[in-house]
Amino acid sequence: MKKSLVTVLSAGLALSLVAAGCSTSNSGGNSGSDSGTTNSAANTSTNTSTGGSEEKVTLNIFQFKVEIADAMTRLKADYEKENPNVTLNIETMGGGADYSAGLKAKFASGQEPDVFNNMGNAELTTWIDKVEDLSDQPWVSDVLDAAKEPITLDGKMYGMPVGIEGYGFIYNKDLFQKAGITELPNTLTELEAAAKKLQDAGITPFSSGYQEWWVLGNHNFNVALANQDDPAALIKNLNEGKGGLVGNPVVEKWFNLLDLTLKNSNKNPLTTDYNTQVTLFASGKTAMMQQGNWTQVQIDGITQNMNIGVLPMPIDDSEKSGNIFVGVPNNWVINKNSKNKEAAKDFLNWLATSETGKRYIVEEFKFIPAMKSIEVKDDKVLGAIANDIMKYSQEGKTSGWYFSQMPEGLPQEVGAEMQAYVAGKVDKEGLLKSIESKWNSMIKK
């Protein structure tokens, strides 16, 4: 997402809030958190198609957002009740490498889904020959302009952005108070001081799920990219094989943040998966974790009404370091070769425009809407994390998600290289050289 588009997104969110009157290992990819396991929600009810036809349809949906798997099961029942001619066969599989490999396997075996997820940008380019142009769909004009950008190519929109996500350090307000932290840390110096106070109070500052490549290779590495004066220019240079990481002063500062988390984390962060990371935090055993609003559902399942908020991930003491990171990682696309294309379009249209569909996006999925017309009527609906993200957006304190602009498969490699750094097997310069080497080898000429 370009810097200007982050500004547009912030303005769009602000308008949406004003209009609304309120403002295992589990692997996550793209976006947020996703499971390494597979969950299927299907039944044997009679299928028929939408639009008045008597043709029976089973719509196969393959998605990576494990945190909404249970809600998707409930959605299935409601959708089939309202559309008795259609059966939804919903399969959830871990994001990132797990989901990507699973999706490619389905296409290779002839078990192509009708609807699936796409992060946009580089991933859209990879799948462009398989996805339907949705530019003519009725919900397109309702999508926030900035949310369209990752899933648009050559002026055509190929997917429906389901929700806006943001991340930073989620923090436990009660543990901060217990440690005597009265001013929230927005700079690296302040974060270091807060971590020391937590340690002195016998509280582990961070739970770090560094077993998950995406926590490092997507979200953490993005901090080094997004804090550049011109992130797009750096990525362009890297995509042209010109380098730009080694000797980069912003990247050097990024190591300060990464090292701070390592010094103040739970034991064995390299063997801590996503579920464990969230559980440690949600059960009050750590004061902070690097995650986003997609964790709200899991946190609520462990500790209801937990007193939490979102902090930035500062690499220095500059004003920009006080930003959090906002993007649209989750777009639902339609297989252009599906025999059920029209039923798939009907389903997406229902999700975006019907009262039931809108309710699921906000109340069940707890997504920050990417549609102008979907209102958040109560600030308790989405949860504390999303509320803070919307506040940062309204104040213009957001930076973009740039990892989706990296060559396909590279974030997984970056995650693996960063894990080697966490394990002490490579130094800073070696890490950056390895990332640049992998980047060069994966550039599509």
Q: What is the pLDDT of residue 95?
A: 60
Region 377-383: mean pLDDT is 85
Residues 269 and 322 both lie in one domain: yes
In whole angstroms, what is the distance from residue 292 CA to residue 215 CA? Answer: 11
How much is the mean pLDDT over the chain? 88
Region 284-300: mean pLDDT is 95
Residues 266 and 409 both lie in one domain: yes
- Strands 156-157 vs 152-153: parallel, antiparallel or unpaired: antiparallel
Residue where a domain stops, chosen among 335, 357, 384: 384
Q: What is the pLDDT of residue 441?
A: 93
Amino acid at 433: K
Q: What is the pLDDT of residue 347?
A: 98
How far is CA 128 from its chain centroid? 21
Residue-wise pLDDT tens digits, 208-249:
999 999 999 999 999 999 999 999 999 999 999 999 999 999
Region 254-260: mean pLDDT is 98
Range of the domain at 280: 168-326+400-442
Q: What is the pLDDT of residue 54?
A: 64
Residues 59 and 99 both lie in one domain: yes
Residue-wise pLDDT tens digits, 129-142:
999 999 999 999 99
Residues 17 and 104 both lie in one domain: yes
First to last CA, the chain: 22
3-state secondary structure of 258: helix
Residues 193 and 137 both lie in one domain: no
> What number of CA atoms fall less than 13 Å from residue 171's CA on the CB side?
26
For the stretch 189-196, contacts whose Cβ atoms lie closer than 8 Å and that sit 24 or more positions apart, written own/partner, are 189/317, 190/314, 190/317, 191/257, 191/260, 191/311, 191/314, 192/260, 195/260, 195/263, 195/264
Residues 172 and 278 both lie in one domain: yes
Q: What is the pLDDT of residue 145?
A: 87
3-state secondary structure 26-88: CCCCCCCCCCCCEEEECCCCCCCCCCCCCCCEEEEEEECCHHHHHHHHHHHHHHHHHCCCEEE
**Which of 294, 259, 74 has the alpha carbon at shortest distance from 170?**
294
**What CATH number does the domain containing 431 carry?**
3.40.190.10
Amino acid at 344: A
Contact 370, 144 (CB under 8 A): yes
What percent of the chain is predicted at pLDDT more than 90? 78
CA-atom Rg of the chain in angstroms: 21
pLDDT confidence bin for 28, thresholds 50/70/90: very low
pLDDT at residue 27 tops 50: no
pLDDT confidence bin for 404, thresholds 50/70/90: confident
Sign of CA dihedral 95, 327, 390, 325: positive
- Of 237 and 40, the one with more pLDDT: 237
Per DSSP, what are the bridge partners of residue 177? none
Domain count, the chain: 2
Residues 286 and 432 both lie in one domain: yes
Torsion region of 435: left, alpha or beta (phi above 0 gives left; psi -120 to 50 gives alpha): alpha
Residues 341 and 361 both lie in one domain: yes
Whether residue 355 lies inside any domain: the answer is yes
Residue-wise pLDDT tens digits, 67-113:
899 999 999 999 999 999 999 999 999 765 688 889 999 999 999 99
Amino acid at 157: M
Residues 82 and 202 both lie in one domain: no
